[in-house]
Amino acid sequence: MNARPKKSFGQHFLHEKRYIDRIVSAISPRDGDTVVEIGPGEGALTLPLLAAAGRLTAIELDTDLIPALRERAAAVGALAIIQADVLTVDFTALASQLGATRLRIAGNLPYYISSPILFHCVEHAAAIQDMHFMLQKEVVDRMAAEPGSKVYGRLSVMLQLACRVVPLFDVPPGAFRPPPKVDSSVVRLVPLAAHELHDADPLRVHAIVKAAFAQRRKTLANGLKQLMDADAIRQAGVDPGARAETLAPADFVRLAKVVDTRRA
């Protein structure tokens, strides 16, 4: 226990019990849930989650942490540890391996790769029941931002098209060892049901959103000119003179569909 935290792995271990308790009660794991934790570290969340769910699969990159974690979990429940970079784990395949219809994913995420982890989870959203993540507060603010907000951007649109984003509460740096330089927040993500999902090609939607926000100050006609002209933007019911930050997530889907038909 209490290994020296590794900066390169984004290790900030939670030690304040009241925040651990709040996260566990936000998740409310039930016996039989298929819980998957990203980055268990020394087990601050793992052990209480395991106690409640009876079994848990944890994905940890740092081999040095695994023996102690395994030992501490032995008396608590059935812990399976996958030593891997979470970005290489196929959650859809993992759900079927574990015999689950959908996974409940949780984690105090390593902040240096939090956005790639979020995008990775979104790709597998159909295999996920819900996600509870500790992230930098600034990232949670961006995820939940609405059109017109200064922090509304690619992350807001891509996440909101796939999930309901529910910010839960903030956690101060002092709750971690060592304290991170930033404030943190816990967020719940609930993948949208099949009938709520848009039917545009996700790669096209992503390409549109990326291009539109790459040049926030430019009009859409300018920002999207490599992908579509002003007429096509109008055809999607969007003003070519508008800026990306004023568009609702659904507007980007309509733009992607026009690109689809024009290229088909």
Q: Phi and psi at residue 72, in whole multiples of 5°?
A: -65, -30
Alpha helix positions (H), the chain: 17-27, 46-53, 66-73, 91-97, 114-123, 137-144, 154-162, 202-214, 220-223, 230-235, 249-263
**Binding flag, residue 40, ligand SAM (CB under 6 A):** yes
What is the DSSP secondary structure assignment for residue 192, as one 8-state letter?
Answer: P
> Would you say 85 is a known binding-site residue?
yes
Binding region for ligand SAM (CB under 6 A) out of 53-61, 187-195, 216-224, 240-248: 53-61
Calpha distance 233→15 (Å, rounded): 51
Cβ 172 to ligand SAM, closest distance in Å?
14
Calpha distance 177→4 (Å, rounded): 10
Cβ 217 to ligand SAM, closest distance in Å?
34
Cβ 5 to ligand SAM, closest distance in Å?
8
**Binding flag, residue 29, ligand SAM (CB under 6 A):** no
> Would you say 60 is a known binding-site residue?
yes
Report the residue number, 111 or 213, with the smaller CB distance to ligand SAM: 111
Residue 252 near residue 158, CB atoms below 8 Å: no
Exposure of 199 by Cβ count < 10 A (0-12 exposed, 13-18 middle, 19+ buried)?
A: exposed
**Binding flag, residue 36, ligand SAM (CB under 6 A):** no
For residue 66 the two structure tokens come to 């695994």
Calpha distance 255→19 (Å, rounded): 42
- Of residues 94-133, those binding ligand SAM (CB under 6 A): 108, 110, 113
> Would you say 39 is a known binding-site residue?
yes
- Of residues 57-96, those binding ligand SAM (CB under 6 A): 59-62, 65, 85-87
Binder of ligand SAM out of 19, 33, 35, 41 (CB under 6 A): 41
Task: Cite the annotated binding site for S-adenosyl-L-methionine by residue number.
Answer: 12, 14, 39, 60, 85, 108
**Residues at the site binding ligand SAM, with contacts judged by CB under 6 A:** 9-14, 38-42, 44-45, 59-62, 65, 85-87, 108, 110, 113
Task: Cite the annotated binding site by residue number.
Answer: 12, 14, 39, 60, 85, 108
